[in-house]
């Protein structure tokens, strides 16, 4: 095997890159290792173009293999890896979003990037090595791409920034920030934070930028040494006369239609004009220029939108650049759900619905690099009717998974701890109408739904999508406009999509994509500042709908009570073969979940949970001499009666403790099934309980029982001395 190896220091660890003939027929490949996490990146470009499309066909796949973590994995019947996990899908999106802006958008040859996880050490996350493996495989190949990019993760523990923190360090960190960039600019951000102020986020980005520059230089040196010459595929150029045709017959109408405020009317007119344009191009220049016509048309919209915003701050719907669209919010609008929130921002409408469940409803997540339980789950749905289109409905795609994960990340910092609120929480955000940033509308709607459901969140969370229009060419970042609350045309034709979510105390989530080479820290500072102002306005509208979490849960939500017992008593609650815990469940209808630390959660109706807790208290009760109970006679012996005083707990009422007179036979005064009051008169060193009935009541002889002689003999009876006192442990069933 031919190998060429390079190493560098990366965040206090050794990053190594090997170029081998492992994937010999791929157009580019790189083996990246950080710790014992190893990723093989490959890239291939198709020979021919893909016909009938008006976009660059890039595909990115991140493939997990259970063997990488020393696992067999899978279900009992299926051991082969199947559909990518949500974690794998999110890593795919990270890679794609960092690389895509650096391709020539005119290319119609398919490019396929694969990052294959070969080893995972449990400490070093695979996403950063995957980004670098993709960057190096592209950079050293002949495929045209304006890279490389640097990528890394930033954490912050006790006020100190860390580069590529381990999983253990991330658990203590108040920031989890993944950043990509090149040439001193940032082109991708994915972040979660625990209500961190914007100032700290900017400091983290600046800290990341310095390290990105180092890892970018490391890659450039490798590419300069072994990189192949870039080969640009054939691209159909614009025919002479096309620009003149557009200027003469289409520009004026296009400029008017872009600025129609109604999205349906705008889309209808633009689609009609686009169809007319395509027909004119094919008539005058031939069908082979159809794809060129598509790109030309889109470029003219970009040009018009950019020019008007940069020169006169004219937005397609007439708003000022910092102005929000009309906001509206409401809660409790769906009757049987545990909580519901409806949020409107212009033509973007999202309905979020909350469902509360018990600990048994937590989601078990098992993947190559993740093994955990989730008690807060956020799902996002985007049906085709939301943007006014037709299409198939089925399993969630990468968009749905990515947007749901972003909204989930935004809300996790305010979800109460399990000790405070032991419920499993599922939010589903239904996007009913879409015209810009449904993910941030989902964050707002979900905050409303959580408060409507009575979840005691720390603070409300609001989110907003920010955009950017920047002058093209070198130094263009000196002339830019940051846009608040971007909608369709500004998102599609703008240079940046920056989503920021947070509370009054700080940021909880950020996601940034660009369509240009990157943005400066100055632009990001302005964006965060304007986003904070927008969030405050949104939060004011949300607080009018509901200012605080409801005190009472919905009548349809289950109730959860908890009790802490000694771990030594867990087996008593469960019973042999689960007999005891199943009897509690059957008797009360409640679900009982026992944790290893002795915490027991009981889920069900109010009456059922209270009854189950009482039974558990009875089972785990530490009995004391002098306590009294109402028991039931469970067994009869010659020398006394066993009385059940709690589920599975019995004590012996000696024959001498049954009545104040001498009892000849136990059955003369009690029978199995009799309810009797008892008092604890003794507990021996083995925990066995001795009971007295006569201390509580005066029993009478059963009908037909002979009256006993006045002189007793039990005190000296050898059988009594041999059997001793009552039973606790031995009496459990």
pLDDT tens-digit profile of 83-107?
Answer: 889 999 999 999 999 999 999 999 9
Whether the pLDDT of residue 529 is over 60: the answer is yes
Q: Which residues contact 110 (CB under 8 A, 6 or more apart)?
A: 45, 46, 50, 57, 58, 59
- Answer yes or no: CATH 3.30.565.10 is held by domain 327-545: no
Q: What is the pLDDT of residue 266?
A: 85
Tokens at residue 574, please? 């469960």
- Residue 154 binned pLDDT confidence (cut-offs 50, 70, 90): very high
| Residue keyed to tokens 């993910």 | 439
Distance from C-alpha of 294 to C-alpha of 597, rounded to nearest angstrom:
63
- Residue 195 binned pLDDT confidence (cut-offs 50, 70, 90): very high
For residue 513, the cross-strand partners are 188, 497
Distance from C-alpha of 423 to C-alpha of 468, rounded to nearest angstrom:
41
Whether the pLDDT of residue 318 is over 80: the answer is yes
Give yes or no on whether 327-545 and 628-723 have one common fold. Answer: no
Distance from C-alpha of 514 to C-alpha of 304, rounded to nearest angstrom:
19
Q: Are 502 and 543 in contact (CB under 8 A)?
A: no
Determine the 3-state secondary structure of 675 from DSSP: strand
Chain mean pLDDT for the chain: 91
Average pLDDT for 397-420: 95
Distance from C-alpha of 155 to C-alpha of 172, rounded to nearest angstrom:
9
Average pLDDT for 621-647: 91
Note if the bond before 4 is cis, omega within 30 degrees. no
Average pLDDT for 188-213: 96
For residue 514, the cross-strand partners are 496
Whether the pLDDT of residue 25 is over 70: the answer is yes
Strands 649-654 and 689-692: parallel
Tens of pLDDT, residues 125-143:
999 999 999 999 999 999 9
Note if the bond before 63 is cis, omega within 30 degrees. no
Closest to 585 (Cα-Cα) out of 573, 597, 568: 573
Q: What is the pLDDT of residue 477?
A: 67
Whether the pLDDT of residue 726 is over 70: the answer is no
| Ranges of each domain in the chain | 3-226, 242-312, 327-545, 559-620, 628-723
For residue 601, the cross-strand partners are 562, 593
- What is the dotted CATH code of the domain comprising 628-723? 2.40.50.140
Q: What is the pLDDT of residue 714?
A: 43
Signed CA dihedral, 114, 117, 122, 124: sign only: negative
Q: Are 369 and 120 in contact (CB under 8 A)?
A: yes
Average pLDDT for 239-257: 92
Whether the pLDDT of residue 707 is over 80: the answer is no
Q: What is the pLDDT of residue 287?
A: 85
3-state helix, strand, coil in the chain (%, to 5): 35, 30, 35
Length of the chain: 733
- What is the dotted CATH code of the domain comprising 559-620? 3.30.1370.10
- Residue 473 binned pLDDT confidence (cut-offs 50, 70, 90): low
CA dihedral 127, 131, 132, 135 (to 10 degrees): 170
Tens of pLDDT, residues 664-692:
899 998 999 999 999 999 998 888 999 99
12, with CB counted inside 10 A (0-12, 13-18, 19+), is exposed
- What is the dotted CATH code of the domain comprising 3-226? 3.30.230.70
Measure Cα distances from 439 to 52, 407, 460, 499, 717 in Å: 30, 6, 16, 8, 82
- Residue 524 binned pLDDT confidence (cut-offs 50, 70, 90): very high
**Backbone angles phi and psi of 225, in degrees to 5:** -85, -45
> Vertex 453, ends 447 and 457: CA angle to 5°?
50
Q: What is the pLDDT of residue 467?
A: 96
Signed CA dihedral, 242, 243, 249, 250: sign only: positive
**Backbone angles phi and psi of 116, in degrees to 5:** -110, 120
Q: What is the pLDDT of residue 515?
A: 93
Distance from C-alpha of 582 to C-alpha of 596, rounded to nearest angstrom:
18
Tens of pLDDT, residues 323-360:
999 999 999 999 999 999 999 999 999 999 999 999 98
Provide, rounded to the nearest whole percent, the portion of the chain with pLDDT above 70: 96
Q: What is the pLDDT of residue 74?
A: 82
Closest to 507 (Cα-Cα) out of 487, 492, 529, 486: 529
């Amino acid at each position: 095997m031919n190998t060429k190896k390079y190493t560098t220091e990366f965040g206090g660890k050794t990053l190594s890159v090997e170029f081998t003939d492992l994937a010999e027929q791929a157009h580019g490949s790189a083996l990246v290792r950080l710790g014992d996490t190893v990723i093989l990146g490959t890239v291939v470009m198709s020979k021919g173009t893909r016909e009938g499309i008006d976009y660059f066909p890039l595909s990115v796949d991140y493939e997990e293999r259970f063997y990488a973590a020393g696992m067999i994995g899978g279900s009992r019947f299926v051991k082969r890896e199947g559909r990518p996990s949500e974690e794998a899908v999110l890593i795919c999106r990270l890679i794609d979003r960092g690389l895509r802006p650096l391709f020539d958008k005119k290319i119609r040859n398919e490019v396929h990037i694969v990052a294959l996880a070969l080893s995972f050490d449990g400490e070093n996350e695979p996403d950063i090595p995957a980004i670098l493996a993709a960057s190096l495989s592209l950079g050293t190949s002949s495929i045209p791409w304006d890279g490389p990019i640097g990528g890394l993760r930033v954490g912050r523990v006790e006020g100190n920034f860390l580069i590529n923190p381990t999983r253990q360090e991330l658990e203590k960190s108040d920031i989890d920030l993944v950043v990509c960039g090149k040439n001193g600019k940032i082109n991708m951000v994915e972040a979660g934070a625990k209500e961190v102020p914007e100032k700290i986020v900017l400091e983290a980005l600046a800290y990341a930028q310095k390290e990105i520059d180092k890892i970018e230089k490391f890659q450039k040196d490798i590419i300069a040494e072994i990189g192949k010459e870039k080969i640009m595929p054939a691209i159909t150029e614009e025919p002479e006369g096309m620009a003149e045709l557009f200027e003469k017959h289409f520009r004026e109408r296009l400029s008017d239609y872009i600025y129609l405020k109604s999205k349906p009317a705008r889309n209808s007119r633009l689609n009609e004009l686009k169809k007319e344009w395509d027909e004119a191009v094919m008539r005058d220049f031939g069908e082979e220029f159809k794809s060129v016509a598509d790109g030309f048309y889109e470029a003219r919209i970009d040009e018009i939108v950019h020019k008007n915003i940069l020169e006169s701050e004219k937005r397609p719907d007439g708003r000022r650049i910092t102005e929000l669209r009309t906001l509206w919010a409401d809660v409790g609008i769906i009757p049987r759900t545990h909580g519901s929130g409806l949020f409107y921002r212009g033509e973007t409408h999202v309905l979020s619905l909350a469902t509360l469940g018990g600990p048994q409803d937590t989601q078990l997540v098992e993947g190559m690099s993740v093994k955990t339980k989730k008690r807060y789950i956020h799902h996002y749905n985007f049906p085709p009717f939301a943007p006014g289109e037709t299409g198939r409905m089925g399993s969630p795609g990468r968009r749905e998974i990515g947007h749901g994960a972003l909204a989930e990340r935004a809300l996790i910092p305010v979800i109460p701890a399990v000790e405070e609120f032991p419920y499993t929480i599922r939010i589903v955000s239904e996007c009913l109408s879409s015209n810009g940033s449904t993910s941030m509308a989902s964050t707002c709607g979900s905050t409303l739904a959580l408060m409507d459901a009575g979840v005691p969140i720390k603070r409300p969370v609001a989110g907003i999508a920010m955009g950017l229009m920047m002058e093209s060419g070198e130094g263009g970042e000196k002339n830019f406009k940051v846009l608040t609350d971007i909608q369709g045309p500004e998102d599609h034709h703008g240079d940046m999509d920056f989503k920021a979510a947070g509370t009054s105390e700080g940021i909880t989530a950020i996601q940034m994509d660009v369509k240009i080479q990157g943005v400066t820290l100055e632009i990001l500072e302005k964006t965060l500042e304007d986003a904070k102002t927008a969030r405050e306005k949104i939060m004011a509208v949300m607080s009018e709908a509901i200012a605080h979490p409801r005190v009472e849960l919905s009548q349809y939500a289950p109730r959860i009570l908890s009790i802490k017992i000694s771990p030594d008593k867990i087996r008593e609650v469960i019973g042999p073969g689960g007999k005891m815990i199943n009897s509690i469940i059957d008797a009360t209808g409640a679900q009982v979940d026992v944790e290893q630390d002795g915490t027991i959660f009981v889920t069900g109706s109010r009456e059922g949970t209270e009854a189950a807790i009482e039974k558990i208290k009875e089972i785990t009760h530490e009995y004391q001499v002098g306590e009294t109970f109402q028991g039931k006679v469970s067994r009869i012996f010659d020398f006394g009666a066993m009385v059940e005083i709690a589920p599975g707990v019995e004590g012996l009422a000696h024959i001498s403790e049954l009545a104040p007179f001498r009892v000849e036979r136990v059955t003369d005064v009690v029978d199995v099934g009799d309810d009797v009051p008892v008092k604890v008169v003794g507990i021996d060193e083995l925990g066995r309980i001795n009971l007295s009935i006569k201390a509580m009541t005066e029993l009478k002889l059963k009908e037909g029982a002979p009256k006993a002689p006045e002189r007793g003999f039990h005190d000296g009876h050898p059988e009594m001395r041999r059997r001793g006192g009552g039973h606790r442990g031995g009496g459990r069933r």
